[in-house]
Amino acid sequence: FTEQIKNCHDYFTGRLGNVEFVICQDIHGELRAFHNVCRHHASLLVRGSGQKSCFQCPYHGWTYGLDGELLKATRITGIKNFNKGDFGLVPLNVATWGPIVLINIDGEILPQQNAAKETVESTWLGSASEILSTNGIDSSLKHVCRREYTIDCNWKVFCDNYLDGGYHVPYAHGGLASGLKLDSYTTDIFEKVSIQWCESDSTERDDFDRLGSKALYAFIYPNFMINRYGPWMDTNLVFPLSATKCRVIFDYFLDSSLLDEKVFIGRSLEESERVQIEDIALCEGVQRGLESPAYVFGRYAPSVEKAMHHFHCLLHANLK
List of domains in the chain = 2-105 (2.102.10.10), 131-293+302-319 (3.90.380.10)
What pLDDT is attached to residue 58?
97
Q: Give the pLDDT band of residue 136 (cuts 50, 70, 90).
A: confident
Instruction: Round the average pLDDT of the chain to a whole number and report it.
Output: 91
What pLDDT is attached to residue 206?
55
What pLDDT is attached to residue 36?
98
Q: Which long-range contacts (CB under 8 A, 24 or more apart) does 223-226 make?
A: 223/155, 223/159, 225/162, 226/132, 226/137
Highest average pLDDT, of 116-125, 207-216, 288-297, comes from 288-297
User: pTM (2 decimals)?
Assistant: 0.88
Average pLDDT, integer, range 51-55: 97
Q: Is the pLDDT of residue 39 over 60?
A: yes
Average pLDDT, integer, range 109-113: 60
pLDDT digits 0-9 by tens, 272-283: 999 999 999 999
Whole-angstrom Cα distance, residue 317 to residue 73?
45
If one compares 165 and 207, the residue with the highest pLDDT of the two is 165
Average pLDDT, integer, range 30-55: 97
What pLDDT is attached to residue 175?
76
Q: Give the pLDDT band of residue 202 (cuts 50, 70, 90).
A: low
Whole-angstrom Cα distance, residue 139 to residue 303?
34
Three-class secondary structure assignment of the chain:
CHHHHCCCCEEEEEEECCEEEEEEECCCCCEEEEECECCCCCCECCCCEEECCCEECCCCCCEECCCCCEEECCCCCCCCCCCHHHCCCCECEEEEECCEEEEECCCCCCCCCECCHHHHHHHHHHHHHHHHHCCCCCCCCEEEEEEEEEECCCHHHHHHHHCCCCCCHHHHCHHHHCCEEEEEEEEEECCCEEEEEEEECHHHCCCCCCCCCEEEEEEECCCEEEEEECCEEEEEEEEEEECCEEEEEEEEEECHHHCCCHHHHHHHHHHHHHHHHHHHHHHHHHHHHHCCCCCCCCCCCCCCCHHHHHHHHHHHHHHC
What pLDDT is attached to residue 104?
87
Output the CA torsion sign for 2, 147, 176, 125. Answer: positive
Q: Is the pLDDT of residue 117 over 90?
A: no
Highest average pLDDT, of 24-38, 95-109, 168-182, comes from 24-38
pLDDT digits 0-9 by tens, 227-284: 999 899 999 999 999 999 999 999 999 999 999 999 999 999 999 999 999 999 999 9
Q: Which one, of 20, 28, 103, lies nearest residue 69 by Cα?
A: 28
